[in-house]
Amino acid sequence: MSPSSSPLGQCSFWLSGLASKEHYKIVVLGGGSGGITMGARMKRKVGAKKVAIVEPSEMHYYQPIWTLVGAGAKSINSSGRPTASVMPSGVKWFKSRVTKIDPKNNTVSTDSGKELSYDYLIIALGLQLHYEKIKGLPEGFQHPKIGSNYSLQTVEKTWNALRNFKEGNAIFSFPNTPVKCAGAPQKIMYLSEAYLRKTGKRSKANIIYNTSLPVLFGVKKYADALWEIVKSRDLNVNLRHNLIEVRPDKREAVFENLDNPGETKIFEYEMLHVTPPMGPPSVLKGSSLEDEAGWLDVNKDTLQHKTYDNVFGIGDCTNVPTSKTAAAVAAQSAVLDRTITKVMKKDKPDKKYDGYTSCPLVTSYNTVILAEFDYNGQPLETFPVDQGKESRIMYHMKADLMPHLYWHGLLK
């Protein structure tokens, strides 16, 4: 008689099935900046024992610093800490991946076989990188002279390509999708140009920024300032150029002209920095939580889901029409905290997120243009100086102060 067919075996099997379902007042999906921040805030609101966070990664990274890692100015080790060290103490951490969200039944399933039920759900799953949507990648990263500051596995390859640069084209791409930190694809260009100048190789380099966008930057004030830098440093910008293929054996990058689909142009490269296409978390697909493009469908003012009143979103996974940055998460977290308080009291949310986001546009190894703006692309500046100008103080804020505020302020 097999154990499962005996009464005792059936009983233990039934009990183990029961044990794999747990209820929490608040479940947070994702342990990135949005998830950890909201986990800490919810712990203060309802108590640690009533909050669960689902996050598979052992390590938590402060990704904004990867721009400087790719340029050799910071080490990769300085950007990460164990997830356990940033997890709010006492909160239940499920070290697994979300496989299904069922908002009609208030449940979430994970790849470890757990089913969690919730009263309130906060979705902070970030976005997904899609290197595979570019022909020749990700396998092309096994070759030298090609890197990407957007992933842990490829950021040091950017630095290797830069310091081993001899002569030819240095090419930087921006994809035809929403991205996180829309300034990062050009920050590494400015840093690379500065490095090549510093090492006496600038005259042998042709620096090219090929972007899918019809503009250099989405906010005119800062775009105007960046165009000035582009002109003064002899950088070549091609708008509406989308990277569709990399041929690393020949050192060729193929770009499509988005204004004339089907028309392609081949660029040879001595260095190539790839910003991958990005998209929403695949687990949202078919969950009835997503909009037509697959992003979490929330009210842009309150961050409450448009259909399910007990579901909320924060950060890169949402469809709020602002630039996807850690600064946006910081601004959203205060609004979302207030929204959830109101919803718990059966009140109407009253605090509105204005779309605030910030992008420290690193323009050299000691200067930054600090772009801060709202939903309407209007500057929302913090400091009593013209932030459209390059600043040394802002560079130190980006490189040294911001990481400290992130680990010891935002995440707490």
Q: Catalytic residues, which ones?
A: 181, 359
Task: Give the strand pairing for 98-102 and 107-110.
Answer: antiparallel
Query: Is 147 in contact with 188 (CB distance < 8 Å)?
Result: no
Question: Which residue type occupies 255?
Answer: F
26, 160, 263 from 171: Cα distances, Å: 45, 15, 19
Query: Is 294 in contact with 279 (CB distance < 8 Å)?
Result: yes
229-235 long-range contacts, CB within 8 A, separation 24+: 229/190, 229/363, 229/390, 233/190, 233/193, 233/207, 234/207, 235/189, 235/193, 235/207, 235/208, 235/209
C-alpha 398/C-alpha 359 separation (Å) is 10
Query: Counting runs of H as helices and runs of E as strands, what totals does the chain give?
Result: 10, 21
Query: Is 375 in contact with 381 (CB distance < 8 Å)?
Result: no
Name the phi and psi angles at 334, rounded to 5: -70, -40
SS percent in the chain: helix, strand, coil, step 5: 35, 25, 40
Q: How many CA atoms does the CB half-sphere of 299 hold within 13 Å?
A: 21
**DSSP calls for 168-209:** EEEEEEE-SS--BSTTHHHHHHHHHHHHHHHTT-GGGEEEEE
C-alpha 114/C-alpha 95 separation (Å) is 11
